[in-house]
Amino acid sequence: MRSSLIKAILRNRTAAAGLAITVAIAFAVTLGGAISPYSAVDMDFLNLLAPPSFAHPFGTDSFGRDVLTRVLIGGRVSLLVSIAGVAAAAIVGLLAGLYAAWHGSWVDAVIMRLADLVFSFPSFVLALFLMVVLGSSVLNVAAAIALVYLPIFARLTRNMALLVKEEPYVQAARLMGESTARILIAEILPNIAAPILVQVSIGLAFAVVIEAGLSFIGLGVQPPLPSLGVIMADGREYFQRGPWVLTLTGLFISLALLGLNLLGDGIRDLTDPRLRERIGS
């Protein structure tokens, strides 16, 4: 199942392009800080607000810091926060969704009503609210992302699991007395993995936007720790004198989102049977 999915991704142009961009960005933010000859924090007052050049592809900021280096290191912060948030949402959502689907009755009703409630708030407003209440910190940004995405994963898992639960092979496994945990892991999880993967991919894209948005308005990650939103908020201050800081950082985010969105779309196309071409009869 897993290797065949990877093969299918590589055959699908959209998914392959998305995967390539995502992997490239992941590599860049992982290694970028180590490879770059510049530091993300050391200031260079001889090179204040230098426009993009060969030495500084993204230019320098108002403290003379290399923007590309800052973007790569800030990108790592943003991506780690987003991954932590989405991973927490996916794991808790998966467990809650499976529990709701398996238990049914009032447990299901309560979990789904809670998910509906969270789902009714504008996602960014909810994240903002949580930042105000919890206080601005890296961990709290991840927590806000997790809470915003929790209902999506819970609802998706529950609906998919309810469908799979009625399948004959799952019924057979139940009749043969297999343990619930085994059935969930061996029979149900593989069958709902693809839509979850789509949501993880698209959710990561939205999480990056939420982190950047919160930090951009100043309620997310706090400087001096760089994140993509922090760098853009900084660039906003001198947007007219050095537009490249905000512009190129935003382009970098857009590229990351493009990769994640394409990857999500591609996997969805691959695994959604409704979208497969049918032969007319």
Partner 1 sequence: MNATPLLEVRKLTVRFRTGATTVEAVRGIDLTVAEGEVLGVIGESGSGKTVSGLAILRLLPANAEVTAECLAFRGKPLLTLNDEAFRSLRGTRFAMVFQSPAGSFNPAKSIGWHLARTIERARSRPGRATADEIIDPVRRLAEVGIPQPERVLRLYPHQLSGGMLQRALIAMVLLLEPDLIIADEPTTNLDNIVERQIIALFRRLRERTRAALMFITHDMTIAAALADRIAVMYAGEIVESGPTPDIFATPRHPYTRALIDTALQLERKVAQLREIPGEMPSFAELPLGCAFAPRCPRADADCRRGRPTMVALSPQHNVRCIHHD
Partner 2 sequence: MAGSLATILVGCIAVFFVIKAAPGDPALAILGENATPEAISAFRAQHNLDAPVLVQFADWLGGALRGDLGQSLTIAGGRPISELIASRLPNTLFIGFFAVAIAVAVSFAMGTIAALRRGRMGDTIATSIAVLGISMPDFWLSYMLIFAFALGLGWLPSYGFVSPRDSLSGAFYSGLLPAVAVAAPMAAVFARTLRTALLGIAHQDYVTAARSLGFRPVLIFIHWIFRNALIPYLTVIGLQIRYILGGVVVIERIFGVPGVGSLMVDAGFARDYPVVQACTIVFLAIVLAVNLAVDLVCSALDPRRTR
User: Please, which residue, 4 or 281, has the CB nearer to partner 1?
Assistant: 281
* Residue found by looking up tokens 């961009």 in the block: 21
Site string for partner 2, 213-242 (x = CB under 8 A): x--xxxx------------x---x--xx--
**Binding-residue total with partner 2 (CB under 8 A):** 45
Say whether residue 159 binds partner 2 (CB under 8 A): no
Measured in whole angstroms, how far is the alpha carbon of residue 130 from the centre of its chain?
Answer: 18
CA proximity to 93, closest of 57, 132, 145: 145
User: Please, which residue, 76 or 268, has the CB nearer to partner 2?
Assistant: 268
CA proximity to 103, closest of 150, 162, 147: 162
Q: Which residues contact 181 (CB under 8 A, 6 or more apart)?
A: none
Minimum CB–partner distance for residue 119 and partner 2 (Å):
8
C-alpha distances out from residue 30 to 80, 99, 183, 186, Å: 10, 36, 37, 33
- Pick out residues in 108-147 that bind partner 2 (CB under 8 A): 113, 116-117, 119-126, 128-129, 131-135
Burial tier of 2 (Cβ tally within 10 Å: 0-12, 13-18, 19+) = exposed
Residues that bind partner 2 (CB under 8 A): 113, 116-117, 119-126, 128-129, 131-135, 205, 209, 212-213, 216-219, 232, 236, 239-240, 243, 246-247, 249-250, 253-255, 257-258, 261-262, 265, 274, 278
